[in-house]
Every structure is written in structure tokens, then in C-alpha cells.
Amino acid sequence: MARQSIDAFIAALPAEKRAAVYAGTKTTHEKRAQLLLDHFVDSDRLRRWAGEIKQHVLENLDTYLPQVEAKLQANGAQVHWAATADEACAAVHQIMVAHGATRMVKAKTMVSEEIGLAPYLEQRGMEALETDLGEFIIQIDRDHPSHIVRPVIHKNRAEIARSFEREGLGAYNDDPETITRRARQHLRPKYLAAGVGLTGANFVSAESGRLVVVTNEGNSRFSLAAPRCHIALVGIEKLVPRDHDLALFLNLLARSATAQNLTVYTEFISGPRAPGQPDGPEEMHVIFVDNGRSAILAGDCREILRCIRCGACLNVCPVYRQVSGHAYRSVYPGPLGAVLSPLLAGEQFAEKADLPKASSLCGACQEVCPVNIPIPDLLLRLRDRGKREHAPAAAAGTPPMGAWALLAAQPAIWKTALAAGRILNHLPVKLIPVPALRAWVARRTLPAWRGGEFRKWMRQRRRS
């Protein structure tokens, strides 16, 4: 029986990393739960509404996408469409070239990770600098984020301090405050020298065309205060119908993500800077990215597109807590990633067909999800698909079920087996040659095998 790659990963994971991820996720999860309980009469209802709103958006994207495009254009933004990751990267590159820019400051955006934007621009002689502290650390280490909200959850302060020292950001100092101040100093001139500021969008209102971008550090605001050109990369699923709906989503997002009432900076952007404002972009470009989303919309797992990337399902997941993000070999880890990553892989689905099995199906992910995604159901659908498509990764680590399947699929054999099972009642279980099993049965009484009795009862009942 081949081992699942996630099991191989965890066996090699240093104990201290595992402990760091476990502690970090558990604390955030517990604070989140307490906050929602304290602040709202019925937070469960809020997340069900939020889920229904997103489902409505997804099922009406054919109306909302052209609507938001028209709004954005009326607001003075230029709208671009990218069907694939390559098209999205090329669109960004073209805008930078047209703008005469070679340097970009980037706020945290998962879609830019997904499309591989920074390496794409670097290969073409451009600088794409991460400004979120965690993402900055990831970038200088040539690492990958292991959590969608806390990218360096897997690193401790000593590792970060060594990286800063290596990059010439000062002598070794592992005080988190010193690390933060050094990043602040280092990045200030970078913002001012950059021609382009790049952000994602947490939400886009189809009604007004407002993009909503939230950050705690203020890096997205700086990226929209110093550079003269703003590019926003937006997945086509990010829409909400009305501005009004944003109140519900913003109340849920920060509490779910970081156990805050509201993220520190919540920015509503509907166009280039106002007349008279000396700072900020004169040009605004919005790139709507598909990259596999429309295919997901066409399938039976479209609910995953409701995801607002809060990370609550990562923090609560017993599997994520043990294995951490890199085990998922994808931009999106955790329960949401176990669904989304194989789907986004498109024709390479088989390579990630093991991910839906990285779950105990305990259901905690759906319980905490602010948009109530039925993640366990979706995981089961993808397991099924993996089996049907005979993906080797979907079978790895699964006990052989062939004999059982043979019995269960043929009524006559099944009935015979049920009756034959009575033999078990006469087995000398106290003499099992495996010591551990013998110890186990010594203290327990196994129920008698009563296979076939229910069928007999049914037959008699029908007769009478």
C-alpha cells in the first residue's frame, strides 16, 4: 500500500515547526470562537446568510461580471480579463511596460501567488517586492507561504533574524519588534521608488464597482499612496451584489481570520485618486482572473468559490494543525485547499487527487466557515472523482477494499456472506496470536454476529 505524500511529509517535519503551527492555529481559532459568541446573538445565522449571498453571486456571475465591468469603467478604471495564469502575468507585465515602470510593490494577494507573478516579472528584469512582513520574509528566503493569512507561521524568530542578517538588514537580532522596524525602514524607499502598486481585492461590489482591500500592516495603503499606477488582480468569484452586503462580510472576515473586530485598514477603491489629492494612483487597472474558476463553476464543487480566504478552516483543521501548509504542495493549503487546489489543477487533477483525503471528515471546517462551504461534502465528491478517474494518488494510503466491494456489489454473495459470518461466533478469539489484540478482547465482550437476521425479520413481516 503506497503511502500518502502528506504522511511522508509529516514524518520529516521537525517537531518545533509542528508545535509552532499547532499553537498558532489553536490560539487564533479559540479567540475567534469566543469573539463571535460574545459579539453576536446568532453568528451561525450570519455565516449562513453570507454563504447564501456568495452562492447567489456565483450562480449569477453572468449578470454581475458585465455589471461590475461597466461600473469600474464608469469610475475611471481600466478593466482587463485573463483566462489563464499566463495571461494574467502578461497583462500585468504589459501595463508595467506601457507605464515605463520596472519596479512594483506588492500587497498580499493569494491570486498573485497562484499565477506566479513575482517570478514572471523577475525573469523579465522587473522587481516585484512583497511588502507584507510575512510575505517579505518568504520572498527573501525563496520559500512559499504555509498559511493564507499568516505566511510564516512555520518559521520562528531565530530563522527570520538569520534571514534578515543574511540580507544585510542589520546584525542578528531576533526581537520581533526590531525585525518589524527593520522591515519598515527597508521598505519605505521601495514604496516611493515603485512605479506600480499591486493589490488583490477581498471583495468587489457589483453595485458600485468598489474594490475592498483589507490589511493590518498598512502595506496596501502605502502601495496605493506612493506609486502612480494601481493594478488589482481579482478572481472572478470575488464579487458581492451590493455595498450593503459588505457590512456583513467585513464583520465576519476579520473575526474569522485573525479574531479582530475589523482589520486595521479597510480600503474602498473605486477609481484613480480624487482631483486635488497629491498622493496615489493616476491610473487604475483591474484584471479579472479566471484561471480555472469558470471550470469549477461548471462542476459539482462550485460552492468552494464562495471562499473569502480567511483561513479559519486551516486553523481548526486537525490535519492542517499537524502537517502545516507546505504538505499540501499548493498555494492554497488546509481544508479549502484540499478542495480548491485539485480543482484549480485542471487537467493535472490526478497529481493532487490525494489532497481530498487529507481530512478526517470531522466537519469542523464547515462549522467555522464564514460562508458555510460544505467542505466535507466537496471532499467526498473529489475522493469519488479521484477513484473514478483512477488517479493513483487517490488510492495511496487506502486499505484494499476490493474484497468488500465485490461482496457489497452482488446481493446473492452478500446474503451468503452474512449467514456465513456466524462462524465468527465460534472463533476462539481469546487465543488470537497477536498479543495486542488478545489483550484488547480479553477486556471486552464482542457482540454476537447476527448477520441476516434483519432480512429474515423483514421477510416474515411482509408475509404476516
Interface with other proteins in residues 151-170 (CB under 8 A): 151-153, 156-157, 160
The residue range among 3-11, 237-245, 312-320, 420-428 that interacts with other proteins, by the rule CB under 8 A, is: 237-245
67 touches other proteins (CB under 8 A): no
What CA–CA distance (Å, rounded) separates 325 from 336?
11
Min separation Cβ 378 and other proteins, Å: 16
Residue-wise DSSP of 212-256: EEEESSSHHHHHTTS-SEEEEEEETT-EES-HHHHHHHHHHHHHH
C-alpha cell at 147: 498559511
Query: What are the backbone angles phi and psi of residue 240, rounded to the nearest 5°?
Result: -125, 155
CB nearer other proteins, residue 259 or residue 395:
259
Residue-wise DSSP of 406-440: HHHT-HHHHHHHHHHGGGGGGS-GGG-S-HHHHHH
Start-end of H helices in 172-323:
176-193, 219-223, 243-258, 293-298, 312-316, 318-323
Based on the number of CB atoms within 10 Å of its own CB, is 463 exposed (0-12), middle (13-18) or buried (19 or more)? exposed
CB nearer other proteins, residue 102 or residue 260:
260
Min separation Cβ 388 and other proteins, Å: 20
Interface with other proteins in residues 9-28 (CB under 8 A): 20, 23-24, 27-28
The residue range among 80-88, 313-321, 379-387, 416-424 that interacts with other proteins, by the rule CB under 8 A, is: 80-88
What CA–CA distance (Å, rounded) separates 359 from 369?
16
The residue range among 179-187, 315-323, 401-409, 430-438 that interacts with other proteins, by the rule CB under 8 A, is: 179-187
CB nearer other proteins, residue 80 or residue 385:
80
What letters, b where the CB count within 10 A reaches 16 and e where it falls short, cover 9-28?
A: beeebeeebbebbeebbeeb
Which residue of 192, 401, 405, 408 would you call a contact of other proteins, by CB under 8 A?
192
CB nearer other proteins, residue 22 or residue 449:
22
What CA–CA distance (Å, rounded) separates 266 from 72?
19
Min separation Cβ 236 and other proteins, Å: 7
Interface with other proteins in residues 269-298 (CB under 8 A): 269-274, 276-280, 288, 290, 294-295, 297-298
Binding mask 42-61 for other proteins (x = CB under 8 A): x--xx--x--xx-xx-xxxx
In angstroms, the first-to-last Cα distance of the chain is: 50
Interface with other proteins in residues 204-223 (CB under 8 A): 210, 216-219, 221-222
40 touches other proteins (CB under 8 A): yes
Interface with other proteins in residues 83-122 (CB under 8 A): 83, 87, 91
What CA–CA distance (Å, rounded) separates 258 from 315?
10
Q: Is the sign of the CA dihedral 312, 316, 317, 323 positive or negative?
A: positive
Which residue of 22, 73, 76, 350 would you call a contact of other proteins, by CB under 8 A?
76
202 touches other proteins (CB under 8 A): no
